[in-house]
Amino acid sequence: METLLPWMRIPWYEIRFESFQDSFGNGLGDISGATRRLDHIADLLGSQLPGRVSPGLGGIVWVTPFYPSPNVDGGYDIANFTAVDPLYGTMDAFDRFCLRAQALNLGVVVDLVLNHSSDRHPWFLRERLGEAAIPGVDRATLGEFYVWRDEQPEDWFRIIFNDSEWSNWSYDRYAIADGGTLCLDAALRRLGERDPAQEWELRERLSPLMSELLWPQIGQGSGREAEVNPHYLARRIDHMSRARPSLQIRSVEVQEELNEILEAVGLPRIGRWYLHRFKTEQPDLNWYNPNVERLMMDVIDFWLDKPGVVGFRADAIPYAYLGEQGDGYEGENHPLTHALLARMRQHIDARHPGKFMVCESNMPPHLLFPYFGTPEAPECHAVYDFTITPAMPWAFMLGHAGPLVTALSEERPPSLGTDRDLLNLYDGVHDEKTLEKVRPEIREALWQFYCKDNPWDPEAEEDPRYRLNLGYRSRTAVWLGNDARRQVLLHGIGIALEGSPLLYYGDEIGMGSLILDDRDGLRLPMHWDDSPNAGFTEGEPFRVMIDSGPYGYLAGVNVAAQRGDPGSLMNILRNLFHLRQCNEALCAGGQRVLRVDNPAVLAFLRYTADHAVLVVGNFSGEAQRATVRLEDTVFDSRPEIALDVEQFTVVRSMFTGHEVPLTPGEPVTVDMELYDVFWMTLE
The per-residue DSSP string of 28-74 comes to: S--HHHHHHTHHHHHHHHTTT-TT-S-SS-SEEEEE---SS---TTT
Distance CA 593, CA 497 (A): 10
Are 64 and 111 in contact, with CB atoms under 8 Å apart?
yes
* Other CB atoms within 10 Å distance of the CB of residue 137: 11
**DSSP letter string, 647-682:** G--EEEETTT--EEE--TTSPEEEEE-TT-EEEEEE
The contacts of residue 298 (CB under 8 Å, 6+ apart) are: none
Burial class of residue 63, CB neighbours in 10 A (0-12, 13-18, 19+): buried
Are 556 and 546 in contact, with CB atoms under 8 Å apart?
no
**Nearest of 573, 576, 595 to residue 587 by alpha carbon:** 576
Res. 47: pLDDT tops 80: yes
Q: What are phi and psi of 149, to 5 degrees?
A: -140, 140
Distance CA 567, CA 572 (A): 7
Interval 624-653 mean pLDDT: 91
What pLDDT was estimated at residue 182? 52
Q: Confidence band (pLDDT; 50, 70, 90) for 135?
A: confident
Are 22 and 538 in contact, with CB atoms under 8 Å apart?
yes
The structural domains of the chain, ordered by start, are 122-275 (no CATH), 590-682 (2.60.40.1180)
Interval 342-355 mean pLDDT: 96
Distance CA 203, CA 488 (A): 77
Interval 398-404 mean pLDDT: 95
Q: Confidence band (pLDDT; 50, 70, 90) for 177?
A: low
Highest mean pLDDT among 6-10, 137-141, 183-187, 281-285: 281-285
Among 349-353, 431-435, 548-552, the range scoring the smallest mean pLDDT is 431-435
E strand or H helix at 402:
helix 402-407
pLDDT digits (tens, 9 = 90+) for 254-274: 888 888 888 888 887 788 899
pLDDT digits (tens, 9 = 90+) for 403-447: 999 999 987 776 777 778 888 888 888 888 888 888 999 999 999
Percent pLDDT > 70 in the chain is: 96
User: What separation in angstroms does the CA of 58 have from each of 37, 354, 382?
Assistant: 16, 15, 17
What pLDDT was estimated at residue 412? 76
In one letter, which amino acid is 639?
P
- Return contacts of 515-522, CB within 8 angstroms, 24+ apart: 515/463, 515/465, 515/466, 515/473, 516/543, 516/544, 518/73, 518/74, 518/468, 519/74, 519/430, 519/431, 519/432, 519/468, 519/473, 520/74, 521/473, 521/474, 522/430, 522/431, 522/432, 522/473, 522/474, 522/475
What pLDDT was estimated at residue 414? 66
Q: How far apart are the first and last CA of the chain?
A: 17
Q: Confidence band (pLDDT; 50, 70, 90) for 213?
A: confident
Q: Confidence band (pLDDT; 50, 70, 90) for 492?
A: very high
**DSSP letter string, 560-619:** HHHHT-TTSHHHHHHHHHHHHHT-HHHHH-EEEEEEESSTTEEEEEEE-SS-EEEEEEE-
296: left (phi over 0), alpha (psi -120 to 50) or beta: alpha
E strand or H helix at 501:
strand 500-504
Res. 218: pLDDT tops 60: no
**Nearest of 13, 22, 44 to residue 531 by alpha carbon:** 22
* Other CB atoms within 10 Å distance of the CB of residue 90: 14
Interval 158-175 mean pLDDT: 85
Are 9 and 52 in contact, with CB atoms under 8 Å apart?
no
Distance CA 168, CA 273 (A): 10
User: What separation in angstroms does the CA of 459 have from each of 232, 365, 622?
Assistant: 61, 37, 20
